[in-house]
Structure 1
Amino acid sequence: MGTWNSRGLRGSTLEDLINHTNEWYREKGLALIQKIPTPITPVRIDKEKRHITLAYFDKISTVDYIGAVQGIPVCFDAKECASITFPLQNIHEHQVEFMRQFEQQEGISFLLIYYTEEQKLYYMRFEELEYFWNRGKNGGRKSFRMEELNPDFFLQLNRLSRIPYLDYLQKDLDIRDT
């Protein structure tokens, strides 16, 4: 398992770190978050290597992760971006709609965005995502820049191989309570 350090993600992917974090949160009794597998149908399989070499998606997936944090329903998606401008086309309309409906059911939805070049990770509240999404739908920019984001929601990373997103979920909840 790779670790976070001052030079970013090394030897691991964002998904691996989130999965590791979720396991740690589960072991500590803080949260139960599951990775939602994308349903696929294999078309071609390399029998020697036992790998799927061609497949198609069975249906549209929703978000990457779903679960509960001490009684609060939570769903989120993980995204990576190679530049300081995040194109909204990296988020699908059905994902935004699922997150909106999840919020209407009193759940918490968010994105974790890793800016690979900047080596920064951002917790994007659903309210913020919805603002940028609606701006793009109404003829505005179909992307957002890092400088448009709330500086309080860039995750403070440590040298452990965990992402402290529950700290930012708490900030999100605090804002909703005001």
Structure 2
Amino acid sequence: MPTWNSRGLRGSTLEELVNLTNELYTEKNLALMQKIPTPITPVKIDSESGQIKLAYFEKDSTVDYIGVVQGVPVCFDAKECATDTFPLRNIHEHQIHFMRQFEKQRGISFLLVMFTARNEFYYLRLCELETYLARAEQGHAKNFKYEELNPAYFIKSQSGAPIHYLKGLQLDLQERED
């Protein structure tokens, strides 16, 4: 079983920004998104602070967020990348499987990728991820690079939303209709 440790807090800045964005979307009746907690079983708890020092994941998580945007079912995972090269190993097979299944039910699945060194955000469509995964299966690099990404899907802060990912979703939906 995987063990919980501080590495799980790597995405906390990104998570805070996404949570703020989701709160704004809820206030404006644009979307209703929920953070999906990863179920853990505490093994060792500090008796003084009550903090969990060691825990095991009870099961594989799905994605970080799930909800609905103006009647459209949406799920996504938020990932951080410190360099301009994103390793595909950062996306777990069970997450990819869930996103594929979600899209089979007419939902929209994507990743929000934060390139921390650039302080930039990218809306990675599942179909684009599938291209990188297929390429890796054919023996090519098991990653994708910042330079390869579609400039139209980079996300800016807008209308008070730190990560206005609804712009990426809107573009994604338009491309699916064409």
Return the TM-score normalized by structure 2.
0.90
Shift of the 29–133 alpha-carbon distance from structure 1 to 2, 3 Å rule, reads: same
1:149 aligns with 2:149: yes
- Report the Cα distance in structure 1 between the residues aligned to 2:108 and 2:66, rounded to whole angstroms: 10
Which position in structure 2 is the counterpart of 1:134?
134
1:62 corresponds in structure 2 to 62
CA 1:62–1:157: 2 relative to 1, 3 Å: same
Per-residue deviation, residues 28-74 of structure 1 (Å, max 9, x unmatched): 11111000000000001112111111000000001000011111110
Q: Find the counterpart in structure 2 of residue 18 from structure 1.
A: 18
The share of aligned pairs that are identical, in percent, is 61
Q: Which residue of 1 aligns with 2:40?
A: 40
Q: Where do residues 1-178 of structure 1 align in structure 2 (5 Å cutoff)?
A: 13-158=13-158, 160=160, 162-178=162-178
Range with bigger deviation, 15-24 or 149-158: 149-158
Q: Which amino acid aligns with 2:30?
A: L
Q: What is the aligned-residue RMSD (CA, Å)?
A: 1.3
Cα distance in 1 for partners of 2:26, 2:92 equals 29
User: Deviation of residue 23 (structure 1)?
Assistant: 1.1
How far did 1:141 drift?
A: 1.4
Q: How far off its partner does 1:160 sit?
A: 4.1
Q: CA deviation at 1:162?
A: 2.3
How many pairs are equivalent?
167
Between the aligned partners of 2:154 and 2:39, the Cα distance in structure 1 is 31
Residue 5 of structure 1: aligned partner: none
Q: Which amino acid aligns with 1:78?
A: A
* Higher RCO (C-alpha under 8 Å, 6+ residues apart): 1
Say which SS state the counterpart of residue 13 (structure 1) adopts: helix
Residues of 2 paired with 1:127 and 1:145: CA distance?
16
In structure 1, how many angstroms separate the alpha carbons of the residues matched to 2:131 and 2:146? 15
Distance 1:33 1:161 in 2: 14
Unaligned runs of 5+ in 2: 1-11
| Structure 1 alignment gaps of length 5 or more | 1-11
**Amino acid corresponding to residue 19 of structure 2 in structure 1:** N
